Amino acid sequence: MTSFTLLGLLLVLLLLRFKGLLAWQDYKDYKVFEVKPHDDIKLRMLHQLAREKAHWDLLAPRRNYNESGLRVLVSPSQVDGLLELLKTHSIEHQLLLDDLSPLVEAQRAENQRSKSLNPSPRLDVLGGFYTHAEINEYLDSLPERYPQHAFVKQFGWSYERRPLKLLTIHNGDGRSNKPVIFIDAAMHAREWIAPSLALYIIQQLLDNYAENKQLLQDYDWIIMPVVNADGYEFSHTDSRYWRKTRKPTWDPENIGTDLNRNFGYEWGHDEGSSPDPAEEIYRGEHAFDQPESQVVRDILLHYSDRLTFYLSLHSYGNFFLLPWGHTSDLPKNYNDMMEVADAGALAIVQATNEIYSYGSGYHLMYPTSGDSTDYAVAVANATVAITMELPAGGFLGFDPWVSHIEGIVTESWIGVRAMAMEVIRRYQPES
Ligand code: 0X9
Ligand code: ZN
C-alpha cells in the first residue's frame, strides 16, 4: 500500500468516527482507579462526589467502607478532576489500569473467536456472549425442538423496536394455571453474564429435562433473557459499559434511563434514584416511561395471580437482595424470603465455597426507588422476589471472559435450582 492510500484510508476512518458511523468506543486511555474510603464519612462523600460528577462511573458502590474492590472508571478528560477531588478529600486511591482499551479489545476478540466456532441458532451458551438478535433467534428455535415443553410469546417492543420475547417452559401435562417462576435478565445492559445464566437455565430445563423435571411438575417457568434490548445491543456494538436504556431524555446531552429505577411503586424518591439524566441511576420523567419496564410490568401483572417467585438476574457482587429497596422496613414475609435465599446460598457454598450474602437490598447494598422487585411484591403480588447479583468477573466486574462463563453459570444454576426447590416445597399448589 502506498503512503498516499494509507493516508486516504486513515482519513476515511477518521471521518467515519467523526460522523459516529464507526461507533465502537474503544476506551482508549480510560483509566480505572481503586478507591479506599477507610471510613463511612468518606464512603458517603465518595458517593456524593460520584453523583455530582456524573461522568465518573463508580462501579458496584458498596455500603461498607471496609469492602475492597470499589473502582472508578474515568475518561481521560476527567482524570485530573478526579485526582484533584480525591486529594482534596484525602481519599486513598490507586491506579489499577492506565488504559482500558487493550482489555476491551482482547475480550471482544475472544468473544468473536469463540462464537465463530458455533453457528446460530444452536448457540453454545458457555462459548460466548450473544447479541439480542441471536438470543431471539435461539428462543424462536426452541418450540420447534421442544413442542411439548416450550412456547415463545412477544410482550412488546423496545424503544428502538426490538421485539421483547419470553419463553415459557412447562411439562406438557396440560394443567393450566400452575404457579409461575418468572426470571428476567439484562435490565442493565452491561451485565452480560445475566443473560448467559438465563440461557443456561433454559438449557437445563429443556435439554436436561429428565434430570430437572421435578422443577416443572407443579410450576411453569417463564424466562426473559434480555429486558433492556437496546442498551444490551449498544453494549455489544458501541459501548461495552453501557447500563441504561437508549431512549433519549429531556436532556439532549444524555441518553437513557435506569430501568431498575423506573417501576411504579414508590417511584421517584431521591434516596435511591436520580432526577438527573446524566446519572447512571436516572429514574425517567415518569414511572414506566420506558417501553421495556412497561413490558416487565405487563408480564408481572399478567401472571400476578400465579406469581410465586420472581428472580431478577444482575451482576455483580454475590448477593441475594430482597425487598424493600425503597425503605429500611422489611416486607411482611421477609423471613420466608430469607429462607429461600438461604437455600440458594447454602447450595452454592456447599458446591463451590463461593459466599453469597442475603438480606434486604436497602440494608445490604443501597437504597433503590422504583426497582422491579419492590413492584413485583407490592403490586404484582409476587410471594418471593429476589435480585440475584452474580459473581464479578473480568477487570471491572461486569466483564467476565468467555472462559469464565461456564464456572459462573454452573455455580449460579445450583443456587437458582435450590431456591426454586425451596419455593416449590413451601408453596405447593392445591391439586
Ligand atoms: O442498582 C441496582 O439496580 C442493582 N444493582 S446493580 O449493580 N446490578 O445495578 C441492585 C438492585 C437491588 N435492590 C436494592 N439494592 N435495593
Ligand atoms: Zn444490574
375-401 residue pLDDT tens: 999 999 999 999 999 999 988 889 999
Task: Considering the candidates 280, 389, 411, 422, report the single residue annotated as catalytic.
Answer: 389
> Which one, of 356, 367, 341, 364, lies nearest residue 391 by Cα?
356
With contact defined as beta carbons under 8 Å apart, do 191 and 240 qualify?
Answer: no
d(CA 403, CA 315): 17
> Which residues of the chain are modeled with pLDDT < 70?
1-22, 50-56, 58-69, 120-121, 431
Count of residues making up the chain: 431
pLDDT of residue 63: 53
Phi first, then psi, for residue 171 (nearest 5°) are -95, 5
d(CA 2, CA 25): 29
**Residues 1-41 pLDDT 10s:** 566 666 666 665 555 444 444 578 889 999 999 888 888 78
Q: How far is the CA of 163 from the centre of ligand 1 (A)?
A: 25
Instruction: Measure the CA angle with vertex 225, ends 351 and 258; round to 5°.
Output: 105
Extract the C-alpha cell encoding 291. 417501553
Alpha-carbon separation of residue 230 from 64, 96, 151, 257, 290 (angstroms)? 33, 31, 23, 11, 11
d(CA 409, CA 411): 5
Question: 35: left (phi > 0), else alpha (psi -120 to 50), else beta?
Answer: beta
Complete edge-to-edge strand list for the sheet that includes strand 180-185: 150-157, 163-169, 220-224, 180-185, 307-315, 384-390, 319-322, 357-360
372 pocket-lining for ligand 1 (C-beta < 6 Å): no
Residue nearest to atom 12 of ligand 1 (CA): 361
Complete edge-to-edge strand list for the sheet that includes strand 71-74: 57-59, 71-74, 31-36, 92-97
Extract the C-alpha cell encoding 167. 419463553
| Cβ atoms within 10 Å, residue 256 | 24
Domains and CATH numbers, the chain: 31-99 (3.30.70.340), 121-426 (3.40.630.10)
d(CA 105, CA 111): 10
Residue nearest to atom 3 of ligand 1 (CA): 260
> Which one, of 370, 373, 276, lies nearest residue 321 by Cα?
373
pLDDT of residue 14: 54
Ligand nearest, relative to CA of residue 258: 1
> Which one, of 115, 72, 112, lies nearest residue 91 by Cα?
72
Q: Tell me, what amino acid is at 422?
A: E
For the CA atoms of 365, 367, 370, 372, the dihedral, rounded to the nearest 10 degrees, stands at 20
d(CA 153, CA 322): 28
Please give the DSSP secondary-structure letter assigned to residue 57.
Answer: E
Instruction: Measure the CA angle with vertex 412, ends 182 and 188; round to 5°.
Output: 60
| Cβ atoms within 10 Å, residue 263 | 32
Atom of ligand 1 minimally distant from the CA of 243: 9
144 labelled catalytic: no
Rounded to two decimals, what is the model's pTM? 0.92
d(CA 364, CA 239): 29
Three-state DSSP at 413 gives helix
d(CA 308, CA 429): 10
> Which one, of 4, 18, 56, lies nearest residue 35 by Cα?
56
Q: How far is the CA of 314 from the centre of ligand 2 (A)?
A: 4
Extract the C-alpha cell encoding 149. 415443553
DSSP-assigned states of every residue in 331-394:
-TTHHHHHHHHHHHHHHHHHHH----EEEEHHHHT---SS-HHHHHHHTS--SEEEEEEEPPBT
Helix residue ranges per DSSP H, 207-268: 209-212, 229-237
387 pocket-lining for ligand 1 (C-beta < 6 Å): yes
d(CA 99, CA 12): 25
d(CA 60, CA 317): 7
368 pocket-lining for ligand 1 (C-beta < 6 Å): yes
d(CA 408, CA 413): 9
Mutate to test the pocket of ligand 1, among 265, 327, 368, 375 (most ligand atoms within 8 A of CB): 368
